[in-house]
Amino acid sequence: MTMKNADIAALNDAQARHLAMLQVCDSVFPVGAFALSNGMETFVQRDFLRRGADFEQYVRDYLAVAPYREIGQMVLAGKYGTDRRMSAAGLERKVIALDELASALQSAREIREGSERMCTRLLKLVRQMDAAHEMRDARDGEIIAVHEHATERHRLEGATDALYGSPKLDLYARLIADGRCRGVHAIAMGLYAADHAAGVREAAVTYGYSLLSALTMCAAKAIPLSQYVGQVALHDAFPRLIRAVDIALTLKPEDLGISGAYLDIAAMQHETLYSRLYMS
């Protein structure tokens, strides 16, 4: 059975959108996430994290509160950005209110500052990627104008053009530049998902995986933990991660921050540790 051009284009679009989220969630995407332990290093130095079983419990505890923290913030931003009933002014009000709430909930100074730096770097990188695509599109347009036989190929490849241009994320960048928002990485990720991902739930699962993967890398260095043990713990966490995302999808803004005080305390204590590997 031969696929129609429209089916091929739709498939290409869905796969490209998935890749777009994988790129910004990848540990090598240079926003600085690798330098943050989010307070985990405190638990290591307090001897709460010493072996694989301890890390598995830590991941379970982390995912129990994640819907009310980063994942919840990301999901709410993504839902706002994909709500077609919302006006531009309404989206702006929602984003400002969410930014204020999320910033206030980040009680540990280094967590808050780290999130702001990661947000700034994400905005800069996405802006550069969008600009590079616009330049390439202009160049390709000149080529296609000369070679008409390339039109069909370009039309099929053009199914992924919706990946470029980030109006929701650009709105957040303007609000930050105007001093109306501080900048929260999780919110920026949610708005990026609204611009580029196939759906908020899939994007949130990918984002949640990136958070767990970063914690696993931290544990491998700080405990230290073998790569094998870390990957087993990461794999075993998948069902809990999906449940955490599904919980986050049901939450309202007032539900954020209702859990996770022990993580905030650990992050605050991390600021005064005698020696440390990570910035937070």
In the chain, where are the structural domains located? 39-271
The DSSP annotation for 229-274 comes to: HHHHHHHHTHHHHHHHHHHHTT--GGGTTSS-HHHHHHHHHHTT-S
Q: Are 199 and 216 in contact (CB under 8 A)?
A: no
Angle value at C-alpha 264, between 262 and 269, nearest 5 degrees: 95
Mean per-residue pLDDT pooled into runs of 10, the chain (280 residues): 67 87 89 70 80 92 94 98 96 98 86 88 93 67 49 48 81 97 97 96 96 88 88 96 98 91 73 58
- Token output for 111: 């967590």
pLDDT at 271: 67
As given in the structure block, the two tokens for residue 272 are: 């005064």
Q: Taking the model in full, what pTM does it have?
A: 0.86
Specify the pLDDT at position 112: 84
pLDDT at 280: 45
CATH of the domain spanning 39-271? 1.10.4190.10
